[in-house]
Structure 1
């Protein structure tokens, strides 16, 4: 083998240094290629209590792990020699057009993750042409979200309180602020046992101890934002300083039943979405009481441990309610491939919670944008690789193990 001295011109072509980006947040986010990368960044940038509130599940976290295991076990059935030069990710859900088959799920305590909170999520959703859901336990008010993101397709999530007049007031406020859909969450008769939060002493407003101050001390950006923005608290109602679980249990109504759902239908003129469906029989009953769409969800593994896995039970629910019913899936989605799998398994739409919050913690509004960019890119690539050019084309034939998944859901 003959050797030679390389020419300078050849070396110059090989050595390409990236220009320094003075916007360190932008540079940091540009290095994130997956939602898992954003999670890694988030873990370094926010206090442990905030990160684990997002990252954790309930009890022994079996449901949390099983949600992911179900998506990891998915096997696609690709078709080749298809023209996939153009992919259309648009769809329609709850009476509105969406540029992507995914929306932002309602999440509580969001400004604890980053001071920009729900406003960042709503503005990013508007930019990407997808729905944004505001939680009853949000840290930005109904009216502020409407004001800061007037072009967003906005949904309001309701925990139906024991105090029905207060619930009605929230509904009226959401309607007046132009929220197009009401999501009522029904899998929370009581709060699940979230042991990470208990160990971390999660309260709202946050209680500062020597431990929490030390933990936050090497996250200066989070600490600075926390101290220089408005006090953190539930923005849509007044709460006392106590643990999050205790506050939640004073709000949740264990007597909630189908008659209450009929009451909501009478008092809400927009789209009514019921979140927390985990069985075919409940899906049928809820649709019969006037729901326009269902969210097949186990609350991201944050309520009942060993709950049905949404992806596994979805085909059974689809078979029970028929092709016309609108089904949305959440819990466990961490990639564009997961979204495609959910759509192929029978969902019309999906929602993301943790995936969005990892982006928010990693970099505020820019981080949410990056999370949605990642998901959009992955969805496009996966659909091209399985030979599909539109959301409407996706079906059970694109999953090799769908039959086994359905059998597991029934067994």
Structure 2
């Protein structure tokens, strides 16, 4: 039957044989893997993580210091990035590879050091390190990690160890020696933590190591039984490289970190460590020049993800002056607010050799363990490749050829 409309458009009643090819009816899949596969962005992984993890643990990852202004500004800074694409360049698949401290990396991405990692998922550092090795990128084990350095069995070229300067220099020396004996190639010194930042979400949630079984957490146990089952049935949750560290994280940091550390301590570290030395936590050209002159092979422009000094300078905005000051003498990386491959492209275009990601991969870890971290890295790879193709950059170094600018 044909029906004529006032616009003289011909219509007809559809037949079953015409509808059948359009039908895509499938039983819904509810496995963890399918949920991860459907996650198209890091924000999707963040949403999954929030549902799977107790609030106190999620807030520890997601939160920042005081009013969380620094963390918000880091995210906002990437919203001000503009790409000026080049066209008709005859490009095929972009080359995403780079060299970090003299070793090949498949992406300009590094998994940042994160503490308490087995709180997020019972496989913790082992899952993250394995996913990084599969992806061909470096993994940085934190001193405040929950797996010992001896158990991080990934290729040495991608095995980096992070340290702080302790009140007891002998403890720092012992950790450095242990990292060397365990085959770690690079040392990352974090310098922006003389005392603990005021992370108010943690204080309000009563976050502690190990998690305390209070009335509030017992209620949470009923809402997240799988997480609690994994915590209670796997090896005890402790800091693998430290002793006497139970309680609130801020109190522990203030008890053992050295607020009186000076440039001489960095020079001492340079003398006792033979491999590449990276300094994390500089936000100005002056500070970058000081640490490079003291022996740093690379610097990380970072405000600790906004988790230390609130209202500290925004890393993406500080990146350019640091690159101009020390980029010819040392490699320059950055972290803070990096949530997509487009963010990585922006940072590289503004002078960074690579970006460190912390929260972004932890959202994947919380959402699904090692497959979740793998999914996060797949998202970064896909987004970076697409951004470079659309911007007309066949290699990473071409991003710095006027393709990226930051609106003020």
TM-score under structure 2 normalisation? 0.95
In 2, the alpha carbon distance for the partners of 1:297 and 1:139 equals 23
Q: Which residue of 1 aligns with 2:264?
A: 259
Q: Which residue of 1 aligns with 2:277?
A: 272
The question of 1:13 aligning with 2:21 is answered yes
Structure 2: tracts of 5 or more residues without a match: 5-9
In 1, the alpha carbon distance for the partners of 2:105 and 2:25 equals 39
The correspondence of residues 10-409 of structure 1 with structure 2, limited to 5 A, is 10-18=18-26, 21=29, 24-146=31-153, 149-150=154-155, 153-395=158-400, 397-401=402-406, 405=408
Shift of 1:171: 0.6
Shift of 1:7: 3.4
Residue deviations 1:343-373, cap 9 Å, x none? 0011011100000000000000010000000
Shift of 1:266: 0.4
In 2, the alpha carbon distance for the partners of 1:79 and 1:240 equals 53
- Give the match's secondary structure for 1:3: strand
- Give the match's secondary structure for 1:329: strand
In 2, the alpha carbon distance for the partners of 1:98 and 1:78 equals 25
Q: Which residue of 1 aligns with 2:7?
A: none
Contact 2:62–2:359 (8 Å) recurs in 1: yes
Change (3 A) 1:400 1:182: closer
- Give the match's secondary structure for 2:83: coil
Residue deviations 1:222-265, cap 9 Å, x none? 12211211111111111243211101111211111110000000
Shift of 1:74: 0.8
Contact 2:117–2:125 (8 Å) recurs in 1: yes
Greater gyration radius: 2
Kindly report the root-mean-square deviation, in angstroms, between the aligned alpha carbons of the 2 structures: 1.4
In 2, the alpha carbon distance for the partners of 1:328 and 1:136 equals 20
Contact 1:155–1:183 (8 Å) recurs in 2: yes
Change (3 A) 1:265 1:378: same
Contact 1:345–1:396 (8 Å) recurs in 2: no
Structure 1: tracts of 5 or more residues without a match: 406-411
Residue deviations 1:14-60, cap 9 Å, x none? 112346657x1101111110000000000000000100000000011
In 2, the alpha carbon distance for the partners of 1:233 and 1:17 equals 48
Residue deviations 1:307-359, cap 9 Å, x none? 01010011111111243420001011000000000000110111000000000
Shift of 1:11: 2.0
Aligned residues between the structures: 400
TM-score under structure 1 normalisation? 0.94
Moved over 6 A (4+): none
- Give the match's secondary structure for 1:242: coil
